[in-house]
Amino acid sequence: MSSVVEPTTTAARPSGLEDRSFFGHPRGLSTLFFTEMWERFSFYGMRAFLILYMVHALGFDDRHAGSVYGTYTASVWAAAIFGGIIADRWLGQYKSVLIGGIIIALGHFTLAFHALPAFYAGLGLIVLGTGLLKPNVSGIVGSLYETNDARRDAGFSIFYMGINLGAALGPLIAGYLAQRVDWHVGFACAGVGMTAGLIQYVLGRRRLQPAVERLERQRREARAAAERERASATTKPTEPTFWGFTTVEWKRLGAMVVFFVFAAVFWGAYEQAGSTLNLFGDRFTRTSILAFSFPSSWFPSVQAIFVIVLSPAFAWLWIRLGKLEPSTPTKFAFGLLFTGLSFVLLLIPAFHIQDSPGIRVSPFWLIGCYFIQELGELCISPVGLSVFTKLSPVKIVGSMLGLWFLADAVGNKVAGYAAGFISSAPLPQLFGVVAGVCIGASLIAFLLIKPVRGLMGGVH
Ligand code: GLN
């Protein structure tokens, strides 16, 4: 403050660095918060009734509906792998989010038409648009901050709240319209939500300028560093490598493969909220509490509400535990255990339904199941994303995040496949298999804690 002349370096102008106008965070975070909130509103709003629409309105049998559901949701996550690459190579992050959002909105509006070709075209557009938008909107959040900015993690937590706020509201509003008014009004509502997100994204574009410029700069610097590394590699002897990676890097890649497998099992169970458990809610659950009746597509919103409620508790818990905070492999093992237990809970109503066909069980079984599942999600989803960014060798971090999305894709396809059994296998057997796989995977994960920590080579 008291110094007379500040040296003017390139970083002298605080390009957003000092901006604390949104709860202590750069203003651009509010723009991205609402863009992603509306995008998730449209995505989860439509996902909440997609399989119901297929079985009730399109007349698909469970197996076919489950398969289409699985292929669609798996493709959404797989497309995200390419969305990151397209932004890096050609479009840049700002435009990728904009164009992605426009394609998503068009997709939902296409679904508002009745014809079957419109149905598939709409799903295809949402896949393309989400692939373009989803990885890049998070990318811009990251670059609102300099790499060493202490507010960064908190920024991502706020952003995660936006995601789940949208995921909570979407089913409540679009799901209600779809099931109580008209399916196609539900789809259109998702499109309107995405449009609202786009409008405020464009209006807020100036707030994103510093982040977009920082991204450009980081990309240029990374390219220059890669050049320098290549030049010096020819002159000075380096650590021995195999296929360009050191032993330490290979070990870390090994740890990531283990996390990938466990994450795929986890998402395979968790994503059944949109498939198997959605049909379970629709067919076997009372959709009323006291005198209040609600559409079954409201159930998936419970997941997101629990994320919002439990996230601060988890953040507090990890800080409170300090040095005792469990390692990432331990959190993964607990995450799988909770997810397995959530399906164990469902065995009780499942046996009940098997014994007295035609009855509908209390909605609190599903709500309880989602509560336990969320304890699992919070041990895996945010933790996994962060550990992938830390474990990956710098030059392939984009591809490794792609691998993380791929776990989602695999899990979603499995979740759709599982839904196909809801009418052909006894419910206790179906839920029992899911519970067994998760608990089995969790036991293996507990056994692997030590070796995986060894592979991680000191990364926490
Ligand atoms: N609920 C989070 C989101 O929608 C994460 C979901 C996931 O990775 N499958 O972004």
Summarised one tens digit per residue, pLDDT across range 37-74 is 999 999 999 999 999 999 999 999 999 999 999 999 99
Q: Who wins on pLDDT, 419 or 232?
A: 419
**460 C-alpha to ligand 1 centroid (Å):** 22
pTM of the predicted model, to two decimals?
Answer: 0.90
Query: Do the beta carbons of residue 392 and residue 256 sit within 8 Å?
Result: yes
**267 C-alpha to ligand 1 centroid (Å):** 10
CB atoms within 10 A of CB 2: 3
pLDDT tens digit string along 155-168? 888 999 999 999 99
Do 210 and 259 have their domain in common? no
Q: Which of 152, 187, 222 is the last residue of a domain?
A: 222
What residue's CA is closest to ligand 1, atom 4? 163
Please give the pLDDT value at position 231.
Answer: 83
234, part of any domain: no
Atom of ligand 1 nearest to the CA of 40: 4
Q: Token pair 């759709």 is at which residue?
A: 416
Mean pLDDT of 377-400: 85
pLDDT tens digit string along 83-141? 988 988 889 899 999 999 999 999 999 999 999 999 999 999 999 999 999 999 988 99
**40 C-alpha to ligand 1 centroid (Å):** 9
pLDDT tens digit string along 318-358? 889 989 999 999 999 999 999 999 999 999 999 999 999 99
pLDDT tens digit string along 441-457? 999 999 999 999 999 98
Residue among 163, 164, 259 to mutate when testing ligand 1 (max atoms within 8 A of CB): 163
Do 405 and 268 have their domain in common? yes
> pLDDT above 70 covers what percent of the chain?
95
pLDDT tens digit string along 220-240? 887 788 788 778 766 655 677
**CA proximity to 375, closest of 329, 336, 419:** 336
Three-state DSSP class for residue 289 = strand
Query: Do the beta carbons of residue 78 and residue 406 sit within 8 Å?
Result: yes
Residue among 310, 381, 412 to mutate when testing ligand 1 (max atoms within 8 A of CB): 381
CB atoms within 10 A of CB 191: 24
229, part of any domain: no
Percentage helix, strand, coil for the chain under 3-state DSSP, each rounded to 5? 80, 0, 20
Q: Determine the Cα–Cα distance for residues 20 and 15; give it in Å rounded to an integer.
A: 12
> pLDDT above 90 covers what percent of the chain?
72
**74 C-alpha to ligand 1 centroid (Å):** 12
Give Rg (Cα) of the chain. 23
For residue 4, what is the DSSP state? S
Three-state DSSP class for residue 10 = coil
315, part of any domain: yes
Do 178 and 80 have their domain in common? yes
Do 144 and 271 have their domain in common? no
What residue's CA is closest to ligand 1, atom 10? 163
Amino acid type, 133: L
1, part of any domain: no
Q: Give the pLDDT band (50/70/90) at residue 143.
A: confident
Do 161 and 304 have their domain in common? no
Residue 144 belongs to domain spanning: 21-222
Q: Give the pLDDT band (50/70/90) at residue 25.
A: very high
Please give the pLDDT value at position 238.
Answer: 61
Q: Give the pLDDT band (50/70/90) at residue 373.
A: very high
What mean pLDDT value characterizes the chain?
91
Please give the pLDDT value at position 11.
Answer: 42
Do 207 and 350 have their domain in common? no
Q: Determine the Cα–Cα distance for residues 188 and 109; give it in Å rounded to an integer.
A: 5
Three-state DSSP class for residue 458 = coil
**352 C-alpha to ligand 1 centroid (Å):** 32
Query: Do the beta carbons of residue 184 and residue 8 sit within 8 Å?
Result: no
Greatest alpha-carbon pair distance for the chain in Å reads 84
241, part of any domain: no
Q: Which of 222, 239, 266 is the last residue of a domain?
A: 222
Please give the pLDDT value at position 14.
Answer: 47
Atom of ligand 1 nearest to the CA of 270: 9
**230 C-alpha to ligand 1 centroid (Å):** 37
Q: Token pair 């489950």 is at which residue?
A: 66
CATH number of the domain bearing residue 59: 1.20.1250.20
Amino acid type, 293: S
Q: Determine the Cα–Cα distance for residues 375 and 365; give it in Å rounded to an integer.
A: 16
Number of domains in the chain: 2
Do 282 and 397 have their domain in common? yes
Amino acid type, 265: V
Please give the pLDDT value at position 196.
Answer: 98
Query: Do the beta carbons of residue 100 and residue 76 sit within 8 Å?
Result: no
48, part of any domain: yes
Do 137 and 256 have their domain in common? no
Do 150 and 198 have their domain in common? yes
Please give the pLDDT value at position 148.
Answer: 78
